[in-house]
């Protein structure tokens, strides 16, 4: 852990949350991930050893507690101290979306993070108790090409193994297009009009895509950096 050698509360806080990967781990915990495997999925390139080290450090600092759960799989839960960082993480995300947003280079596109975010934000109330949505990414290798969103009595799960049931909706597009839709760079309707996306299923769900597909919480943030560049 970096030590700044100052009594300043900003310095003391930065010693804990400023370490590499820590803010993203907090993002995942605040988004609802509690299991080690889900944290890994949302963090992409983090190594298991670094994730374990950071979780231990957060535990030592009183931000996270490790608790045994069903089937022996431990859960990592935020304490009151950790949950109090929610506004900080939200503000960092808003600032990042407004001023330093990604230009979406290929190496930053992450199907695991995208599908995990979609899982968290799908509105299950828009569907029957048992429904399957099929996502097909045409630009990914075979093992990552097909994903299924499973909705069961208000619970949402995502997998890339065929669930054995016929999907209610089918969406075919590229990972880039779906990510751009998710982040608010392009609308679902525009992607359809420009034939960047193919969408099949009952008309009632095709008409109400915005009701069941709730986008990233940062999708509506104004892009001040782009506006400033245009004015200049």
Q: What pLDDT, in 10s, does the model give residues 145-170?
A: 999 999 998 899 999 999 999 999 99
- pLDDT exceeds cutoff 60 at 73: yes
- pLDDT exceeds cutoff 80 at 231: no
- pLDDT exceeds cutoff 80 at 91: yes
Confidence bin at 226 (pLDDT 50/70/90) = low
d(CA 229, CA 167) in angstroms, rounded, equals: 44
- 95-145 pLDDT tens trace: 999 999 888 899 999 999 999 999 998 999 888 888 999 999 999 999 999
Confidence bin at 223 (pLDDT 50/70/90) = confident
Question: Do the strands 130-137 and 146-152 form a parallel or antiparallel pair, or are they unpaired?
Answer: antiparallel
d(CA 118, CA 202) in angstroms, rounded, equals: 20
Percentage of the chain exceeding pLDDT 90:
70
Three-class secondary structure of residue 177 per DSSP: helix
User: Token digits for 59?
Assistant: 């535990």
Pick the CATH number of 106-212 from 3.20.20.10, 3.30.1050.10, 1.10.10.10, 3.30.1330.90: 3.30.1050.10
d(CA 169, CA 179) in angstroms, rounded, equals: 18
Mean pLDDT of 53-69: 95
Lowest mean pLDDT among 9-23, 138-152, 208-222: 208-222
d(CA 198, CA 184) in angstroms, rounded, equals: 18
State the pTM of this model. Answer: 0.86
Q: What are the angstrom distances between the C-alpha of 51 and each of 48, 83, 122, 127, 148?
A: 5, 19, 27, 36, 27
Considering all CA atoms of the chain, what is the largest pairwise distance in Å, rounded to the nearest integer?
62
User: Token digits for 72?
Assistant: 């022996």
d(CA 18, CA 43) in angstroms, rounded, equals: 16
Enumerate the domain spans of the chain: 9-84, 106-212
Question: What is the overall mean pLDDT for the chain?
Answer: 90
CATH match of 9-84 with 1.10.10.10: yes
Percentage of the chain exceeding pLDDT 70:
96
User: Burial level of 169, CB count in 10 A (0-12/13-18/19+)?
Assistant: buried
User: Token digits for 177?
Assistant: 């297009």
């Amino acid at each position: 852990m970096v030590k700044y050698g100052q009594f300043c509360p900003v310095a003391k806080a930065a010693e804990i949350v400023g370490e590499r990967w820590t803010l993203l781990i907090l993002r995942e915990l605040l988004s609802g991930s509690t299991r080690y495997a889900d944290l890994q999925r949302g963090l992409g390139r983090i190594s298991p050893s670094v994730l374990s080290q950071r979780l231990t450090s957060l535990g030592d600092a009183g931000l996270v507690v490790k608790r045994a759960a069903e089937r022996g799989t431990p859960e990592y839960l935020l304490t009151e101290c950790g949950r109090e960082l929610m506004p900080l993480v939200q503000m960092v995300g808003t600032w990042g979306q407004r001023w330093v947003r990604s230009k979406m280079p290929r190496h930053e596109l992450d199907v695991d993070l995208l599908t995990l975010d979609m899982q968290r934000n799908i509105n299950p109330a828009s569907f029957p108790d048992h429904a399957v949505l099929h996502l097909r990414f045409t630009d990914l290798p075979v093992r990552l090409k097909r994903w299924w969103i499973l909705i069961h009595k208000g619970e949402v799960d995502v997998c890339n193994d065929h669930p054995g049931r016929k999907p209610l909706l089918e969406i075919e597009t590229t990972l880039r297009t779906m990510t751009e839709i998710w982040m608010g760079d392009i609308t679902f309707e525009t992607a359809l009009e420009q034939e960047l996306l193919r969408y099949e299923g009952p008309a009632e769900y095709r008409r109400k895509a915005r009701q069941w597909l709730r986008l990233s919480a940062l999708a509506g943030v104004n892009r001040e950096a782009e506006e400033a560049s245009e004015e200049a």
